Amino acid sequence: MMPGTPHSTTRAAKPQPQLHLLLYTRCTGYKHTCIPAAVTAFQSLGHHTVVTEDPTVYFRSADALTENFDVVVLLHCIGDDIFTPTQLASLRGFLNAGGGVVAVHGAAAAMTGDEWYGRMVGAHFDSHPDPEPGMVIVEESSAGHEILAGLAGLSRKDGWVDEWYNFRRHPRDNANLKILLRGDPKSFKGGKMGEDHPLSWCQEFEGGRVWFTALGHFDEAYEDEWFMGMVERGIVWAAAAKQAGIGGGR
């Protein structure tokens, strides 16, 4: 069994104007086999999209990112050397200029020795049990958030199959995070976060916006309307500060 049956919610109309996305997929550690499916799904959203594993082109400076993109998508990029210090500083400058970051699943397992990167993503990955079906719960206090809009009152999703990520520190300890989704640890084995197991959150961060989801290990996630609806709204939400003109840019 793979990620749950697509929810019947109709995906929102494509946002206007089109956004400019950089899908960064560099892996120097484990490489997810779902990356091609994920790239195809992101490209299908109708935005202007550049896909790269090479950090030397756009991450050479904050201006190179800010002038070309609204959102940087850290798409399953894993490894403690996916960025040099200069390249990571470019990403930080992009956020300072109002840029948005969307971090998907394996991105939490990158740059594990870098404190700033951990705060930006929200929490460093620690471990995961073997994939199995479980229940995803919408955080009640966040049910009205625009990233969750379109779930049509859905408070939980049964049967979602994923790697149920554990984190080095509990995400609740990071007061800047707005938790959006959590897993029900009674529905899967191997959770180490206690009875409260956050899986997705967003934050206003150093002038920009960041949305993270720990979901998305399998190809089927990128064909799932429930999941891809959140991805689409997460991109639009992350881009909002730059679209409003904070920090200049394109």
DSSP sequence for 142-208: GTTSTTTTTSTT--EEEEEEE---EESS-GGG-TT-EEEEEE-GGGSS---STT-EEEEEEEEETTE
Size (the chain), residues:
250
Question: Quick one: pLDDT at residue 153?
Answer: 61
Provide the CATH number for the domain around residue 224: 3.40.50.880
59 assigned to some structural domain? yes
Instruction: Specify the 3-state DSSP secondary structure of 248.
Output: coil
Joined tokens for residue 229: 């609806």
The answer to whether residue 10 is domain-embedded is no
- The radius of gyration computed from the CA coordinates of the chain, to the nearest angstrom, equals 17
- Give the pLDDT confidence of 171-183 residue by residue, as tens digits: 999 999 999 999 9
pLDDT reported for residue 17: 61
> What tokens appear for 108 in the block?
């939490």
Domain-located, residue 160 = yes
Torsion angle, alpha carbons of 128, 195, 80, 96, to 10: 140
**Strand ranges, E, within 36-131:** 48-52, 71-75, 100-104, 125-127
- Taking the CA of residue 134 as centre, how many other CA atoms within 13 Å lie in the half-sphere pointing to its CB? 24
Residue 168 lies in a domain: yes
* Residues of the chain predicted below pLDDT 50: 1-2, 4-15, 247-250
Q: By residue range, what is the domain housing residue 76? A: 20-243
pLDDT in tens, 22-75: 999 999 988 889 999 999 999 999 999 999 999 999 999 999 999 999 999 999
Q: Total structural domains in the chain?
A: 1
On whether residue 239 sits in a domain, the answer given is yes
- Is 133 inside a domain boundary? yes
What is residue 15's predicted lDDT score, i.e. its pLDDT? 42
Q: Is residue 4 situated within a structural domain?
A: no
Residue 224 lies in a domain: yes
